[in-house]
Structure 1
Amino acid sequence: MRRTKAMLMGDLLEEFFARPYVAAKVAEGRLPDTWREVVGDAVANLTTDLRLENRILYVRLQSSVVGQELFYQREALRDRINEVSKVRLVNAVIVK
């Protein structure tokens, strides 16, 4: 199908990245940066593993004290990550 109306490249890209599947994949790729923004540099430096499987974020930390503190804040972390990424990316956070 051929378009009859000319469109700007920026508008085409904006339309493409607005699709839910594409937006979720982009947000997933930016998860390490989002994690650093949400928890700060100190905690992000103590994070050894960060992976997302079936909308569950698994976080592994070097410090058990920091891990215990994040365990109590996991709902707030989930909400803040979804807010920063502008996509419902995470349903639960599991801290190990």
Structure 2
Amino acid sequence: MRRTNDKSLKEAIEQMLRVYKLKRRFDETALIAAWPEIMGNAVANRTRQLYIRERKLFIRLESSVLKNELVMIRTQILDKMNEKAGSKVLDEIVFL
């Protein structure tokens, strides 16, 4: 039997992240960790630097050819990343 103030562990963690305003940072960190899963190992192995600042994803790649390919599918990458996060975490992608 469940009491009225009982919460699942998932609900309690989500509430804690909201209260302490850590949800966005948590989502950003999860996206960085999921980069190889989202883009595949071929792209992940050629990624030298990946970070998020002010809702922008900054990507530094080893290959200029790969960079040009990813620039062309920038909106699809953005959609995949936001879909993985479950909310709109990123607004823009910047290639360095």
User: Deviation digits for residues 25-66 of structure 1, max 9, x if unmatched?
Assistant: 211111222221221011001000111111111100001111
2:24 corresponds to: 24
Aligned counterparts of 1:82 and 1:66: Cα–Cα separation in 2: 22
**Deviates further, 57-66 or 25-34:** 25-34
RMSD, aligned α-carbons = 2.3
Q: Is the 8 A contact 1:24 1:89 kept in 2?
A: yes
2:6 corresponds to: 7
Q: Percent identity?
A: 29
Aligned counterparts of 1:23 and 1:83: Cα–Cα separation in 2: 16
The unaligned stretches of length 5 or more in structure 1 are: none
The unaligned stretches of length 5 or more in structure 2 are: none
Structure 1 residues 69, 25: CA separation in 2 closer, same or farther (over 3 Å shift)? same
Q: Is the 8 A contact 2:49 2:61 kept in 1?
A: yes
Aligned counterparts of 2:5 and 2:58: Cα–Cα separation in 1: 45
How many residues get paired? 92
State the Cα distance separating 1:91 from its structure 2 match.
0.3
Q: The residue matched to 1:48 in structure 2 has which SS?
A: strand
Q: Is the 8 A contact 1:74 1:94 kept in 2?
A: no
Instruction: Report runs of 4+ in structure 1 exceeding 6 Å deviation.
Output: none
Aligned counterparts of 1:73 and 1:15: Cα–Cα separation in 2: 35
TM-score, normalised with respect to structure 1: 0.80
TM-score, normalised with respect to structure 2: 0.80
